[in-house]
Amino acid sequence: MKKMLIIFMRDVKVNKRDFISLYILIVPIIFGIVINLIAPGVNDTTINIALIEGENIEMQEYLKDFAKISVYKDKAELEERVARRDEVFAYVPDGDGYYILQQGDELEGLLDYAKMMLAFYEDDVQIEDSTAEIHDFGRINPPLKRLLLNIMMMFTAILGGMLIAINIIEEKIDKTIRAIHITPISRTGYILGKSIIGAILPLYGSIGLLLITGFSDINWYQMMVLIVVSMVVSILFGFIQGINNTSVMDAAGSVKMLFLPLGGAVAVAELLSDKWQWIVYWIPFYWTYKGVDEILTYQSSWQNTLIYGGIVVGISAVVYILLIPKIRKGLE
Amino acid sequence: MIKVKGLNHSYKKDGKYAVNNVNFEVAEGEIFGFLGPSGAGKSTTQNIMTGLLQLQEGEVTVAGYDVKHIKNEMFNQIGMSFEQSNVYSKMTAKENLDFYRKLFDVETREPQDLLDLVGLGDKGNIRAGEFSKGMKHRLTFARSMINNPTLWFLDEPTTGLDPSIAADIKDIIRRENKKGVTVFLTTHNMYIADELCDRVAFIVDGDIKLIDSPKNLKLQYGEQLVEVEYIKDGDVVKESFSTIKTEDKNQLKDIIDKYEIQTMHTKEATLEEIFIKVTGRGLK
């Protein structure tokens, strides 16, 4: 175990000196922040209203609880803003009232919402006037955020594999594997030592992503099962890439090929009906995606989690058994 | 220290052997040279002895360990300097040695001492990737001593080094050997073998053709010669004469009497010449 850690610590030390490796090590954190920035929360409004600055302060205050308000100097600026590509409605003063200015290609539902908001303001309707009771499932995270998080967690597993590949390629370029084999560390110990960095990235990357994006109240035990399963994929992928490539750029090129099954698995899971799901049953990412999605939507069960995890381990084991001779030869 | 009996190895397992019925023994404290041209089977034999290649046929014992069932602890006792330098280019010289020393379970040498020994004492904090080929080779050589090996495999230890550094390396090998370290030297450089080895084995096409000490080989196969350059009819003539054959001795006397001698020196047969004589092959 001590020698495995020595191998791992060497990899960490060298990876910190390499830009690509360093980038891979910190990218899960960047992913988490980016997801938070681009995915809307449940409290985010879906309508943008433009007003003339200072024209009606009271209206501006009223509307800001229900819409994203932006203000402009005069009518000309207001018109210019509305004419841009995104969906913005302007309330333009007209005599005693207002007219709504739009481009013309906005969604009808949004226009209705803009009309209603104006009517509510004119009739001085307040939230307290509503008698509706709110019942919910306690979900606080929107589907887009969930989707991005799930994809990024799988991507983190690929990056973990990439780190292993980079370290193996380094050993191949420097021809140091033979020197390691003339030391008392066993080949299994060496392989496991080399695997640690690729296993840790999906672990800390996934946990980091979940915490940064606000999914802290999930079933962590079930999630850990799927994260550990992702580590297996990561290690296997890392050794395959490391052994089959002679330069980091070659390995990076091969990684692109993996985005096809990853993207395909997500697309099929999200877009195709149940009768077509079998098309991607062979892709491990499909099962991790399904499992993680159930956990993120609070619909998971231990039975399903273990089945999905078992399938991924099973597929990985088959691939590993087929590739054992090649992996051994590559590490000689 | 090393026993090899009936060693055969076929890379494709198709009956074509890279080494064929190789037998030899290396005694403790000996410097044993394994000589042969490229592709002769030197590296294959060495790789089997060090566990880098799996033993297929035959019996091989290294430092008391059966290579068929190799134990990791065997590597505490052996060191290996590779022909092609193989150090981590993104790590400094000192970090390279520090990393390797931690992988052994025996007392190891101080990295700085080893760097001083091979003339890299002031280069310890420079990344190996910035080293010249010769410096990398010296670092690889230094690394092979980190665990105080009792059996030291050296593959072309002076290749690519300038003469003064090569001389230093040879001195280090002699010093370590005097301490009791057994050396298995693989080379196609007959001069270093002649200088260092107690015994040498000639291997060609996977077969060991001969094993003996350089001195015995010279006595057995070599011929004492005198090489003379003299002026005859205005031209410089160069000839060699045996110091044993009467006819040659008389001819030499005659030349000394009649002509102006420019240079004259005795010439001993080199290991390379003996190798060619015995195997019918050159060493390149």
- What's the confidence (pLDDT) of residue A44? 56
CB contact burial B55-93 (16+ within 10 A = b; e otherwise): beebebbbbebebeebeeebbbbbbbbbbebbbbbbbbb
Residue A5 clears pLDDT 80, i.e. is over it: yes
Calculated CA dihedral for residues A307, A313, A319, A324, nearest 10 degrees? -150
The CATH number corresponding to B2-219 among 3.40.120.10, 3.30.1330.200, 1.10.340.30, 3.40.50.300 equals 3.40.50.300
- What's the confidence (pLDDT) of residue A46? 65
Query: For residues A156 and A26, what is the distance between their CA atoms, to the nearest angstrom?
Result: 10
- What's the confidence (pLDDT) of residue A138? 62
- Measured over the CA atoms of residue A225, residue A231, residue A234 and residue A236, the dihedral's sign is negative
Q: How confident is the model at residue B113 (pLDDT cuts 50, 70, 90)?
A: very high
Tell me which chain B residues have a C-beta less than 8 angstroms from the C-beta of A184.
72-76, 103-105
Residue B98 clears pLDDT 90, i.e. is over it: yes
- What's the confidence (pLDDT) of residue B11? 85
Give residue-wise pLDDT tens across range A193-223: 888 888 888 888 899 899 988 888 889 999 9
**Do A10 and B99 meet the contact criterion of CB atoms below 8 Å apart?**
yes
Residue A131 clears pLDDT 70, i.e. is over it: yes
Of A13, A170, A183, the CB nearest to B103: A183
In a 10 Å sphere around its CB, with 0-12 CB exposed, 13-18 middle and 19+ buried, how is residue A134 labelled?
exposed
For B251, how many CA atoms within 13 A lie in the half-sphere containing its CB?
A: 15
Q: Which of A251-260, B13-22, B60-69 has the highest mean pLDDT?
A: B60-69
- Residue A262 or B224, more confident: A262
Of A176, A182, A186, the CB nearest to B87: A176
- What's the confidence (pLDDT) of residue A263? 85
Q: Where are the domains of chain A?
A: 2-38+143-330, 48-129
Give residue-wise pLDDT tens across range A6-25: 988 888 888 888 777 778 77
In whole angstroms, how far apart are CA B144 and each of B76, B101, B201?
Answer: 11, 10, 23
Question: A180: distance to nearest CA of chain B, Å?
Answer: 8
Q: Pick the closest to residue A103 from A116, A90, A122, A120 (CA basis).
A: A90
Determine what percent of chain B is predicted with pLDDT higher than 70.
98
List residues bridging with B19 in a β-sheet: B9
ipTM (interface predicted TM): 0.80
**Do B29 and B177 meet the contact criterion of CB atoms below 8 Å apart?**
yes
Q: Which amino acid is at B4?
A: V
Q: Which two tokens stand for residue A122?
A: 């004119």
Mean pLDDT on B38-43: 84
Tell me which chain A residues have a C-beta less than 8 angstroms from the C-beta of B103.
3, 6, 180, 183-185
In whole angstroms, how far apart are CA A110 and each of A20, A89, A116, A300?
Answer: 44, 9, 10, 35
Question: A168: distance to nearest CA of chain B, Å?
Answer: 12
Residue A1 contacts B where some CB pair is shorter than 8 Å = no
Helices (H) and strands (E) in chain A, counts: 12, 4
Question: Residue B45: which residues within 8 A CB-CB, separation 6 or more?
Answer: B4, B7, B9, B19, B22, B34, B203
Q: What is the mean pLDDT of chain B?
A: 87
- What's the confidence (pLDDT) of residue A331? 67
Mean pLDDT on B181-209: 88
**Do A48 and A70 meet the contact criterion of CB atoms below 8 Å apart?**
yes
- Residue A149 or B280, more confident: A149
Residue A322 clears pLDDT 80, i.e. is over it: yes
**Do A137 and A276 meet the contact criterion of CB atoms below 8 Å apart?**
no
Tell me which chain A residues have a C-beta less than 8 angstroms from the C-beta of B99.
6, 10
- Mutation to test the B interface, candidates A16, A183, A331, most B Cβ within 10 Å: A183
Query: For residues A252 and A300, what is the distance between their CA atoms, to the nearest angstrom?
Result: 34
CB pairs under 8 A between A and B: 66
Q: Which two tokens stand for residue A266?
A: 């997500």
- Residue A242 or A226, more confident: A226
- Mutation to test the A interface, candidates B11, B13, B80, B102, most A Cβ within 10 Å: B102
- If you ran DSSP here, which 8-state letter would residue A27 be given? H
- Residue A145 or A137, more confident: A145
Q: What is the mean pLDDT of chain A?
A: 85
- What's the confidence (pLDDT) of residue A42? 47
Q: Which two tokens stand for residue B279?
A: 């195997």
List residues bridging with B225 in a β-sheet: B242, B267
B171: helix, strand or coil: helix
For B83, how many CA atoms within 13 A lie in the half-sphere containing its CB?
A: 12
Check CB contact under 8 Å for B90 and A185: no
Measure CA B50 to chain center: 16
In a 10 Å sphere around its CB, with 0-12 CB exposed, 13-18 middle and 19+ buried, how is residue A100 labelled?
middle
